[in-house]
Amino acid sequence: MAFVIDGKEAAASVISAVTEASVSLEGKTGIKPGLAVVIVGEDPASHAYVNSKGKMAKQCGFNSIQHTLPEETTQEELQALVDTLNADPAVHGILVQLPLPKHFDSDAIIQSILPEKDVDGLNIANAGKIATGDLDTGLISCTPAGSMLLVKRVHGEDLSGLNAVVIGRSNLFGKPMGLLLLAANATVTMAHSRTKDLASVCRNADILVAAVGRAEMVKRDWVKPDATVIDVGINRVPAPEKGEGKTKLVGDVAFAEASEVAASITPVPGGVGPMTIAMLMANTVIAAHRACSLPVPKF
C-alpha cells in the first residue's frame, strides 16, 4: 500500500513557519502583513472559503481585511476598490474571490491587481516569471506551489532523472505546475483531454499529477509501480452508502486502487487542498517582506 502524503500536516508546518516570519517582521519593523480579501455576491462556497482564509490570516498574525460587496456591484465599483487596495501601503496581498458574478470581466479585475500584491499568483507578470524560470522575484500560484512542496517532501529539491506527467493544461494549475517541475529538473510531459492513449503516457510517470476535474478518471493501470501521485481534483459525487441524497468528495484518481500500485499518493480531501491556503499565507508574508526590503523567508 502507498504512503499517504498528509497535506494537513505539511500545511501546518508551512503555517507555523509563516507565523514565525510574521511575528519576526512585526518585531523588526512594527508592520503586520496585510491581506485584503474581496468577495462579491452570496455564493455559499465562496463565503466558506473566504471565512477560512480570514481565520487563517488572523492565526498567522496578519492584519486581515475583508470587503463583502453585494451581487449588484458594478465593474467600475469593484475596480475602484482594487485600485484603492493597490495604493494602500498597509495591504501587502490582495485576493479577489473567484468566481465573480457573471456580469464581471473577471480577468480585467485580476490583471489590475499589482503583481507584487497578487498573492493568488494569477497576474500575467507572475505567470511570465515562472515561464522564464524566475522563481525568486514573483509570486507563485498557490495550488501548484503547494503541490510542488508535497512532491519535494517525497523526492527532495532536485528531480533530475524523473519523468513527470501533468494531466491538465489550465492557466490556473496545469501550466504553472509543469513549469515548476521543469525548474526542478524533471522531464515533463503535459497531457490533456486530446492526448492520444493518455493511459500509456501516464504509465511512464515517476510523478503523476492529475488536474482534470473528472472524478476518479485515473485508474490503477494508469499508474506506474512505485510512482508518486498528486491528485488535485475535487469532485462531489453521490454517496448512497451515507444515506439518501448524500455526497462525498473524491479526486481525479481512483484512490483505493491507485494506492495499491503507487509508492506515495495524496488523498482527497486532506492532500493538496490544505496546501493551497497555506501557500496563500506564505505568499502574503513574502510580499510583506519584499515591501519592507527585507530578505524573503523560504517555505
44 SS3 class: helix
Contact 278, 27 (CB under 8 A): no
Whole-angstrom CA distances from 270 to 7, 193, 234, 260, 299 are 6, 26, 11, 19, 19
pLDDT reading at 11 higher than 90: yes
Choose the catalytic residue: 32, 53, 117, 175: 53
Look up 53 and say whether it is catalytic: yes
pLDDT value of residue 244: 87
Neighbours of 200 (CB within 10 A): 11
Query: What are 212-267's pLDDT values in tens digits?
Result: 999 999 999 999 999 999 999 999 999 888 888 899 999 999 999 999 999 999 99
Domain extent listing, the chain:
30-120, 142-273
Is position 97 annotated as part of the catalytic site?
Answer: yes
Question: Which residues have a Cβ under 8 Å from the Cβ of 286 and sit 6 or more positions away?
Answer: 139, 296, 297
Name the class of domain 30-120.
Answer: alpha beta
pLDDT score of 264: 98
Determine the residue type at 265.
Answer: I
Cα gap 133→161, rounded to integer Å: 19
Burial class (CB in 10 A: 0-12, 13-18, 19+), 36: buried
- Indicate whether 155 pLDDT > 90: yes
The residue written with cell numbers 484518481 in the block is: 253
Domains 30-120 and 142-273 are alike in CATH topology: yes
pLDDT given for residue 63 in this prediction: 97
**Alpha carbons 23 and 88: distance in angstroms, whole number:** 21
Q: What confidence tens digit (pLDDT) does each residue in 82-139 have?
A: 999 999 999 999 999 999 999 999 999 999 999 999 999 999 999 999 999 999 999 9
State the sign of the Cα–Cα–Cα–Cα dihedral 294, 295, 296, 299. negative
Q: What contacts 84, CB < 8 A, 6 or more positions away?
A: none
CB 177 within 8 A of CB 211: yes
- Give yes or no for residue 203 having a pLDDT over 90: yes
Q: How far apart are the first and last CA of the chain?
A: 29
- Residue tagged active-site, from 97, 224, 231, 252: 97
Please check whether residue 198 is in contact with residue 189, taking contact to mean a CB–CB distance below 8 angstroms: no
Beta bridge partners of 39: 68
- Judge if pTM exceeds 0.85: yes
What was the pLDDT predicted at 56? 96
In whole angstroms, give the CA distance from residue 147 to residue 27. Answer: 31
Q: Is 125 helix (H, G, I), strand (E, B) or coil?
A: helix
What mean pLDDT is reported for the chain?
A: 96
Cell 492584519, residue located: 63
Class of domain 142-273: alpha beta
pLDDT attached to residue 245: 86
pLDDT in tens, 56-90: 999 999 999 999 999 999 999 999 999 999 999 99
Selecting among 32, 117, 120, 224, the annotated active-site residue is 120
Distance from C-alpha of 256 to C-alpha of 70, rounded to nearest angstrom: 43
Give the confidence band of 45 by pLDDT, cuts at 50, 70, 90. confident
Q: How many residues belong to the chain? A: 299
The rounded distance, in Å, linking the Cα atoms of 113 and 153 is 32
